[in-house]
Structure 1
Amino acid sequence: MKKLIYLVAALCMAACGGAEPAADLHVMTFNMRYDNPEDGEHNWRFRKERAAEAIVSRGIDLLGTQEVLANQFADLRELLPGYEAVGVGREDGAAQGEFNAVFWRADRFTLLDSGTFWLSETPETPGSKGWDGACERIATWAVLRERGGAELLFVNTHLDHVGKVARREGVALLAERIEALRGGRPVILTGDFNSEQGSPVIAHVQHTGLLCDAKRMAAETAGPDWSFSDFGEIPVEYRPLLDYIFVSAGIEVRRYAVLDETATGGFVSDHAPVEAEISIVR
């Protein structure tokens, strides 16, 4: 496994490093925690403004979200008036179940195309579960054109928390669809991968060298090494990193940060948002 990880790192350095950068973009992946009435003081209604402020205050241009229910999607669209978004519920392809909604700054990007597919043996079937997965899992994608600039493919997902086969095959399907959709464009993949760094899942995402972990590519890093705290219930030494931003060749990562509650003014979710400052090479 160590040899595989070193090989992945070498491929990433070769594929994702090197040319003259363009203007900065700020990208975030953010597992919002679904609106669970049993969360008490951490329920969505008590933290939604703080969650939106964490996005706006950091000037996020591109945002991938996970675990967003329909009412949360509506709240975010109201609280983020400068953003446009796409997304559907995973249970029916409309409004039922969790969304993996993608948001972008309307003054910076134009939407060219978008869609959702299910991480299953029948990816076009709404509500389909894949392999040994416990839940329906989806990926939402958008092809965006920067105003007066380049196009990119943004993909956002949430892998299963139980099914090992579902995570493995989900990554394989993601790779297949990204290859089909990217059309030579730079790619950004965000999500909760329910897998830690050094795991076969994260190695699998990067094994072709097309996608690289932004943390490994960053010139500067900040924040903790974990992204899941369960609202601070997990002791610090046991908290895992589950949330990732991956980038393709043609993208330089200048800074990477995990934003825990000390950076966001309190808990915004049971997960900490993960942010990367990137440049698309023209």
Structure 2
Amino acid sequence: MLLKLVTFNLKRTILRWDKRNFLNRVAAIQEFFAQQKPDLVGTQELTIRDLRQAEVALPQYRWIGLGRGGGHRSEFSAIFYRPDRLRLLDQGTFWLSSHPERPGSRGLMAVFPRICTWGLFETVETGQKIRVYNTHLDHVSPLARAEGIRVIQEHIHRHQSPQADGTILMGDFNASPASKVLRMLRDSDRRIFTHDSYTLTLQKEPLCCRTYHGFSGKVNGRPIDYIFVSGGLEIADAAIDRGVYDNQYPSDHYPIVMELALPARA
């Protein structure tokens, strides 16, 4: 069975009169969803106001998550999913700090509280289960980013279950492929993830991989957005979508689109 995954920093509304606020881009976002038809989308930055607008624009999707300030406060790392394709079995949000269960807690050197939202999903068609994590790491401190990944890795290891056919981690890591954060995911003794969107995309297009473009349309450069998948899951395809929708870019980041093959059950 194939699932289509997306990670997409959708840029929150900061100033309501900004011509690039979320409301002025929601038609482009709606068109992106209509064309790509993703099953799961890890979003970053949206506030509850933005998410309420997304609910209206994307009625075929549901979402899970909490704000990083706790409850509906501040930015979310919301996961959108198609209920006709996936059943939500469990979910949660934890903070990337020394007290992950404490809402609004901040990690060492982090400018803001940072979070990771996760969901355990079951495919409607086959009953296969995947655990999906979505995060947005600190934008300033490498130390805070490394601490955030450590907390995420610990959570994944504590909650690994034989009932899940695989684990996915996606998001805006604010880190280049050569950074400590990415090395922690690739080189850890307790390594979980065996494949990622960057490696596959780089094989197809060596200068391809900028994911933050600031509405400029630039292509060459390093990514900061990624999708990682665990062993047992096969990446059928991965690409950076640089498309213009409704005559504009949907965000200041390009989305990463991945087609994932779930293992056949005996």
State the TM-score, normalized to the length of structure 2. Answer: 0.90
Alpha-carbon deviations, 1:210-268, whole Å to 9, x = none?
Answer: 213133246985793110011118x655x431100000011111111111244785211
The answer as to 2:28 corresponding to 1:44 is no
Q: Select between 252-261 and 58-67 the one with higher mean Cα deviation.
A: 252-261
Query: What secondary structure is seen at the aligned counterpart in 2 of 1:170?
Result: helix
The answer as to 2:90 corresponding to 1:113 is yes
Query: Which structure's relative contact order is higher, taking Cα pairs within 8 Å and 6+ residues apart?
Result: 1
Alpha-carbon deviations, 1:101-152, whole Å to 9, x = none?
Answer: 0111110111110000000111111111100000110000000111132111
| Contact 1:109-1:144 within 8 A present in 2 as well | yes
Gaps of 5+ in 2: none
Rounded Cα–Cα distance in structure 1 between residues aligned with 2:247 and 2:240: 14
Query: What secondary structure is seen at the aligned counterpart in 2 of 1:115?
Result: strand
Rounded Cα–Cα distance in structure 1 between residues aligned with 2:11 and 2:255: 11
Q: Select between 248-257 and 47-56 the one with higher mean Cα deviation.
A: 47-56
How big is the alpha-carbon RMSD for the aligned residues of Structure 1 and Structure 2? 2.1
Query: What secondary structure is seen at the aligned counterpart in 2 of 1:162?
Result: coil
The percentage of counterpart residues that share the same residue type is: 33
Q: How many residues were matched structurally?
A: 257
| Contact 1:119-1:139 within 8 A present in 2 as well | yes
Other-structure match for 2:208: 224
Gaps of 5+ in 1: 1-22
The answer as to 2:231 corresponding to 1:249 is yes
Rounded Cα–Cα distance in structure 2 between residues aligned with 1:28 and 1:146: 17
Flag the 1:217–1:272 CA change in 2: closer, same or farther, 3 A: closer
Flag the 1:182–1:167 CA change in 2: closer, same or farther, 3 A: same
Alpha-carbon deviations, 1:35-70, whole Å to 9, x = none?
Answer: 021783222121112112212310100110000100
The answer as to 2:141 corresponding to 1:158 is no
| Greater share of helix | 1
Rounded Cα–Cα distance in structure 1 between residues aligned with 2:239 and 2:34: 16
Residues 42-121 of structure 1 aligned to structure 2 (within 5 Å): 42-91=20-69, 93-121=70-98
* 2:154 paired residue among 176, 179, 193: 176
Other-structure match for 1:126: 103
